[in-house]
Amino acid sequence: MKNKKTTKVLISLMLILAMLVSVACGGNGAEDETPETDTVVEEAEAEETDADESESAAGLEGNALDDGVLDLGTNAAFPPYEFYDGDQMVGIDIDIAKAIADYLGYEVKIHDMEFSNIIASIESGKLDGGIAGMTVTADRLESVNFSNSYATGIQSIIVTKDSEIGSIDDLEGKKIGTQFGTTGDMYAQDDFGIDNVQAFDKGADAVVALLAGNVDCVIIDSAPAQSFVEADDNLQLLDTNYTEEDYAIALTKDNDTLLEEVNYALEVLTDDGTIPAIIEKYIPAK
């Protein structure tokens, strides 16, 4: 993270000076090699962090992050976008983040946190961005930049198989479980009143509450809804009439170069098939 433009300018000036001095001395001494050695080290680090995505196109040298580390927040309880396989965070967003960082020559650090804290952490400068199946909304655009969209989602309702709820029209007066701070949570509060909504830190916790009979349904994005329903025979899925949402990477408003680089990487990695292959890996076309 950190956008130390001045440091960068200073380093460039020092390199130019070093080159001038070595030319003036007519030398091809050790000073000449310093910049090259640095570059090699950076490339080696970038490769190391992402050996498994190595087929992606040879990348640019990103310039937006002086320490070369892309710090992104996520909430890894949102399959198939981010979840745990043992102690490994995996999923569409994790692979896309790695592919982008790899392409731009950054190291990527993904921080698992509460969904509702991601934007605040970007605003306070603790993170460069967030990748979390995050929907682009007008409200959020006041706090962060959003990359171009890489996927879409729609809100779904999960109910138990024996539920009397057959559609969104049956939700009046019912107890609705949501994930705190998500679009599903906002829609549910707007349409059915805050008193009828119980928000959980994780979508998975809302599903546990549904199975325990503590809420009557869960409103959550379609892809995780599908995963939760597939994992439990007692659950079924209903559609809503909420409109399709665009998922994008949230990025700090303080670094427009980062936004440009991420959009460029997204475009290249979509065109060369890397991102479609990642999505197909986790959501196979039927």
Using CB under 6 A as the binding rule, whether residue 106 contacts ligand ARG is answered as no
**Cα within 13 Å of Cα(198), Cβ side:** 17
Q: Is 1 exposed, middle or buried (0-12, 13-18, 19+ CB in 10 A)?
A: buried
Span 159-178, contacts to ligand ARG by CB under 6 A: none
- Asked if 240 interacts with ligand ARG (CB under 6 A), we say no
Which residues touch 138 (CB under 8 Å, ≥6 apart)?
none
Distances (CA, A) of 75 to 103, 166, 194, 270: 23, 30, 23, 24
Candidate segments 74-82, 97-105, 168-176, 251-259, binder of ligand ARG by CB under 6 A: 74-82
Q: Which is nearest to 242 in space by CA: 152, 148, 144, 173?
A: 152
Query: Of 79-98, which residues contact ligand ARG (CB under 6 A)?
Result: 81-82
Which amino acid appears at position 86 of this protein?
G
Return the number of the residue (117 or 179) whose C-beta is nearest ligand ARG.
Answer: 179
Quick one: 53 or 245, whose CB is closer to ligand ARG?
245
Is the four-CA dihedral 245, 248, 250, 255 of positive or negative sign?
negative
CB of 50 to ligand ARG, least distance (A): 21
The nearest distance, CB 190 to ligand ARG, in angstroms, is 13
132 binds ligand ARG, rule: CB under 6 A: yes
3-state secondary structure at position 278 = helix
Shortest separation between residue 23's beta carbon and ligand ARG, angstroms: 53
Residue 147 near ligand ARG by CB under 6 A: no
Q: Does 115 bind ligand ARG (CB under 6 A)?
A: yes
Among 92, 127, 134, 250, binds ligand ARG (CB under 6 A): 134
Tell which positions 192-221 bind ligand ARG, by CB under 6 A: 203, 221
| Helix residue ranges per DSSP H, the chain | 5-24, 34-49, 92-104, 118-123, 138-141, 183-192, 203-211, 222-230, 256-271, 274-282
Interface contacts to ligand ARG, rule CB under 6 A = 74-75, 77-78, 81-82, 115, 132-135, 153, 179, 182-183, 203, 221, 245
